[in-house]
């Protein structure tokens, strides 16, 4: 997000009005937090780990709640909130921060998590992956 801020002074802006940009920012952050919290709540209901650094400790594969629509609601929520920040900045170049986040989190977090989940849940996770998208 710091990088997004640094490039936001460039001339490639899309600010409609400062007020509208701020309202869209608040909306995106609230939506992002709600999506992420829905994932945490679903994990808590199933009494499984929320810790993304130890997916191998998952006690159950959560496929209910928000996980019926996205395999990664916490990361999706973060991406939506970061998108809100880009909107607040009003810079086309700052949108690259959202792209950078998605590429980074896919490579260094989601793919290792999914490998661990295949180890833990095997065919059940493979079938889930076939029916539910990674993001939306």
Q: What angle do helix axes 111-121 and 123-131 make, rounded to 10 degrees? A: 130
**What per-residue confidence (pLDDT) applies to 78?**
98
**What per-residue confidence (pLDDT) applies to 15?**
66
Q: What is the pLDDT along the chain (136 residues), one digit of tens a residue?
A: 888 988 887 667 776 788 999 999 999 999 999 999 999 999 999 999 898 888 888 999 999 999 999 999 999 999 999 999 999 998 888 999 999 999 999 999 999 999 999 999 999 999 999 999 999 9
Residue 81 CB neighbours (<10 A): 21
Residue 83 CB neighbours (<10 A): 22
In whole angstroms, give the CA distance from residue 56 to residue 14: 43
In whole angstroms, give the CA distance from residue 3 to residue 75: 19
**What per-residue confidence (pLDDT) applies to 116?**
94
Residues 61 and 42: beta-carbon distance below 8 Å? no
**What per-residue confidence (pLDDT) applies to 108?**
97
């Amino acid at each position: 997000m710091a990088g997004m801020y640094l490039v936001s002074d460039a001339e490639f802006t899309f600010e409609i009005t400062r007020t509208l940009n701020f309202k869209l920012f608040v909306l995106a952050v609230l939506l992002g937090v709600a999506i992420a919290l829905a994932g945490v709540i679903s994990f808590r209901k199933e009494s499984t780990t929320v810790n993304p650094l130890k997916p191998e400790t998952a006690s159950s594969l959560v496929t209910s709640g928000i996980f019926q629509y996205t395999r990664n609601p916490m990361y999706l929520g973060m991406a939506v909130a970061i998108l809100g920040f880009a909107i607040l900045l009003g810079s086309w170049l700052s949108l690259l921060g959202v792209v950078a986040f998605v590429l980074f989190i896919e490579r260094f977090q989601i793919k290792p998590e999914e490998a661990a989940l295949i180890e833990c849940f095997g065919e059940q996770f493979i079938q889930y992956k076939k029916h539910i998208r990674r993001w939306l």
